[in-house]
Amino acid sequence: MRKIIVPTDFSENSLNAIKYATELFKYNHAEIYLLHAFADEVYDAKNRLPDEIFDELQEKILKETKEGLEDFRKKIISFSPNPKHTVHTIAEFGMLVDSVNDWVEKENMDIVVMGTKGQTSDKKITFGSNTLQVIKYVKCPVLAIPADYGDVQPKNILFSTDFQLTYKRRELKLVSSIAKSFVSKINFLYVSKFPSLSFRQQDNKNFLEASFSENQVIFHQEKDKEVTNAINTFIIENPIDMLVMVNTRHSYLENILYQSTIEKIGLHIDIPFLVLQNLPR
């Protein structure tokens, strides 16, 4: 049984992410939780209104949120009437990252799925601010879907790694399961000018090979290239349908996610991006 949480702001990008998720996990029994956390909306409106109507305002937005979520639930059932899927709705007064983390913990979620950008899409940036915050802080795999991306056939998956990390078996099993569902090929990309691996790296590579023993895997090494450029180039030169990376303390991904502005992220991703979280849970 898969447990999937989908934060939504009721945008078309959000709906597209939900469509992708239902198709990606169509072979699995799944509980899908649609979540809208609306604290920001209340506080934004409160700044323009007297304090005495704060509770009334909160109730009004809660009612609108529940109605919006129910509309989304019906849309999902209409385009994906999958008897293996059950769709729940969660309207919550809270901040997005806190609410998502709380439900991840409460329901032991397998994955968070959301659009790379929400209502305020900006073509100049890779991730909207909400998606970036979820990727950085939520202790669960996060799958970010670009706007209008509709080809849910991840035949070729790129998994970028330096073999320095210890991996979570549960999260690797998630990737393996997705790959098996679509008979996908997993391309491991290691970027380094050094031809050989350390003992630690070799052990981690062996663990990956064992974890993906039932999948088609290929190991690639790129030399004399900066990691971001190597990933971008590999995606351009190969028919890659999904990028997988691991976020953990002092990792390459953490370093680029914590740069001062999201415009500085050099990854130009126009395919689904799955971030595995090697963070305490």
Closest CA relative to residue 93, chosen from 46, 138, 135, 131: 46
For position 61, what pLDDT does the model report? 86
For position 260, what pLDDT does the model report? 40
For position 149, what pLDDT does the model report? 84
* Comparison of pLDDT for 58 and 176, the residue scoring more: 176
Angle at which helices 12-24 and 54-79 pack, to 10 degrees? 40
What is the fold of 156-268?
Answer: Rossmann fold (3.40.50)
The DSSP secondary-structure symbol of 174 reads: H
- Give the pTM: 0.89
**What is the average pLDDT score of the chain?**
87
Alpha-carbon distance of 126 to 57, in angstroms, equals 34
* Comparison of pLDDT for 118 and 261, the residue scoring more: 118
Tokens 């073999």 belong to residue: 163
Beta bridge partners of 219: 188
Tens-digit pLDDT profile for residues 212-258 = 999 999 999 998 678 888 888 999 999 999 999 988 765 666 666 65
What is the fold of 2-145?
Answer: Rossmann fold (3.40.50)
For position 262, what pLDDT does the model report? 42
Strands of the chain (E only): list them: 2-7, 30-37, 85-92, 111-115, 142-145, 156-160, 185-191, 216-222, 242-247, 273-277
Average pLDDT over residues 124-134: 75
Strands of 82-130 (E only): list them: 85-92, 111-115
Given the DSSP bridges, would you call strands 156-160 and 242-247 parallel, antiparallel or unpaired? parallel
pLDDT band for position 202 (cuts 50, 70, 90): very high
Task: Give the number of other CB atoms < 10 A from CB of residue 210.
Answer: 10
Residue 45 has pLDDT above 90, yes or no: no
Q: Phi, psi (5° rounding) for residue 23?
A: -75, -40
Tens-digit pLDDT profile for residues 53-98 = 777 878 888 999 999 999 999 999 999 999 999 999 999 998 999 9
Alpha-carbon distance of 142 to 144, in angstroms, equals 6
CATH 3.40.50.620 residue window(s) in the chain: 2-145, 156-268
